[in-house]
Amino acid sequence: MKAIEGQRVDWIPPALMLAIMLGALAMIGNPSTWVTLTVAGLAMGLLIFIMSSGLTLVFGLMDVMNFAHGLFIAVGAYVAASVMRLFSASVASESFLVNLGAVVPALLAAMLVAGVLGLAFERVIIRPVYGQHLKQILITTGGMIVAEQLIHVFWGPDLLPLPRPTTLRGSFLIGDMAIEKFRLIAVVVGLVVFAAMIVILNRTKTGLLIRAGVENKEMVEAMGYRIRRLFIAVFVAGSALAGLGGALWGMYQESVTVHIGANMMVLIFIVIIIGGLGSIGGCFTGALLVGLVANYVGFLSPKIALGSNILLMVMVLLWRPQGLYPVAKQ
């Protein structure tokens, strides 16, 4: 996992995750329930990873924390809902391929709109306040207020239905294990995004520059690269991914409200704090941990399920105060 940061791999956090999975198996006792819960946890974790990866990279690269990141999630979900309504005929179809003909344009449109919005947001809201943390927090929060209200203006204040295509409803039954189809889709999309990110970060020059920028911005600039352009690219990509995640999350819940983004923000913050601010590998591990723990605890003792994420965060921070994979800063 640490290979992404190009150093020796720190296997303790992934091993911890495996230990949690095995421990949960022992506590739950029933293997088929355990598989169902694990797939649900992985799906949730991968969705959170898609949404939070951009945020943590943006922070690592430019020391910018965007409190309005949830806005891109919400916009992605709303755009997906609008597109799906356009393709309502293919949404209702019984064929998987025809269904994909509605889902794929919806996801692409969500990414496109969120990405363009990210470009505008970076230009108008974030650029004037580089290096001023207090103002960043205030201004991005303000941007979120305005944007949420604008969503109300364009899409109306009511809950918007986002129907899942016919063939993506229900679950596969393997023996007595029930696996929701949509969760499998989420796992597949999440893994594809993660793989693509690893390839880009490890095998391309842009990726090399991004990794170098996270560790030492000034040095990259001194070498003659424009870190600003790199940053804008990462910001836009992160926004687009948030839009994608929002669209998937909206389909998962089958409805969209303007609070979808703000609600996810809490989980996202927990994930990137657990992972270590700025670390993409940490973000991945943290997201999976949060997803798995939320599902296991939700099954084992629903009463403390709500606090499980906070509890997880506190325990991780007591163990490693800088997060699972601290990013070395110069």
Partner 1 sequence: MTSLLSGDFPRSRLLTAMLVAIFVALALAPFVFPGTRPLDVAAKVCVFVLLVASYDLLLGYTGIVSFAHTMFFGIGGYGIAIALSRFEVGWSAIALGSAAAVALSLLVSFLIGLFSLRVKAIFFAMITLAVASFFAILASQLSGVTGGEDGITFKVPELLRPAYRLLEDPLLGVTIGGRFVTYYLVFGASLLLFLALLRVVNSPFGRVLLAIRENDFRAEALGYRTVIYRTIANCLGAVVATLAGVLYALWLRYTGPNTTLDFGIMIDILLMVVIGGMGTMYGAVIGATIFVVAQNYLQDAMKAFSGAMKDVPLLPDLFHPDRWLLWLGVLFVLSVYYFPHGIVGQLRARLRR
Q: Is 278 in the site for partner 1 (CB under 8 A)?
A: no
Binding partner 1 by CB under 8 A: which of 27, 145, 159, 188? 145
Q: Please report whether residue 153 would count as binding partner 1 according to CB under 8 A.
A: yes
Q: Among 91, 110, 139, 227, indicate the residue that binds partner 1 (CB under 8 A).
A: 139
List the interface residues with partner 1, window 154-193 (CB under 8 A).
157
Between strands 160-161 and 171-174, the pairing is unpaired
- Residue 185: CB minimum distance to partner 1, A: 28
Q: Is 133 in the site for partner 1 (CB under 8 A)?
A: yes
Angle at the Cα of 209 (from 206 to 212), degrees rounded to 5? 150
Supply the minimum distance, in Å, between the C-beta of residue 325 and partner 1: 16
172 DSSP β-pair partners: 179
* 211-249 per-residue burial string, b: 16 or more CB within 10 A, e: under 16: bbbbbebeebeeeebebeebbbebbbbbbbbbbbbbbbb
Closest to partner 1 by CB, 185 or 297 = 297
CB of 266 to partner 1, least distance (A): 5
Minimum CB distance to partner 1 smaller for 14 or for 261? 261
Which is closer to partner 1, CB of 225 or CB of 269? 269
| Other CB atoms within 10 A of residue 33 CB | 16
Q: Which is nearer to partner 1, 111 or 324 (CB)?
A: 324
Structure tokens at 306: 């709500």
Q: Which of 123, 127, 152, 229 binds partner 1 (CB under 8 A)?
A: 152
d(CA 5, CA 19): 24
Site string for partner 1, 20-49 (x = CB under 8 A): ------------------------------
DSSP string, 11-70: -HHHHHHHHHHHHHHHHH--HHHHHHHHHHHHHHHHHHHHHHHHHHHHHHHH----TTHH
Region of 30-38, 151-159, 236-244, 283-291 interacting with partner 1 (CB under 8 A):
151-159
Distance, CA of 303 to CA of 293 (rounded, Å): 14
- Please pick, from the candidates 17, 106, 251, 270, the single residue that binds partner 1 as defined by CB under 8 A: 270
* Tokens at 276, concatenated: 């270590």
Which of 32, 77, 28, 31 lies closest to 51, judged by CA? 77
Query: Which chain residues interact with partner 1 by CB under 8 A?
Result: 59, 65, 67, 125, 128-129, 133-139, 141-143, 145-146, 149-150, 152-153, 157, 262, 265-266, 269-270, 273, 277, 306-307, 309-310, 313, 317
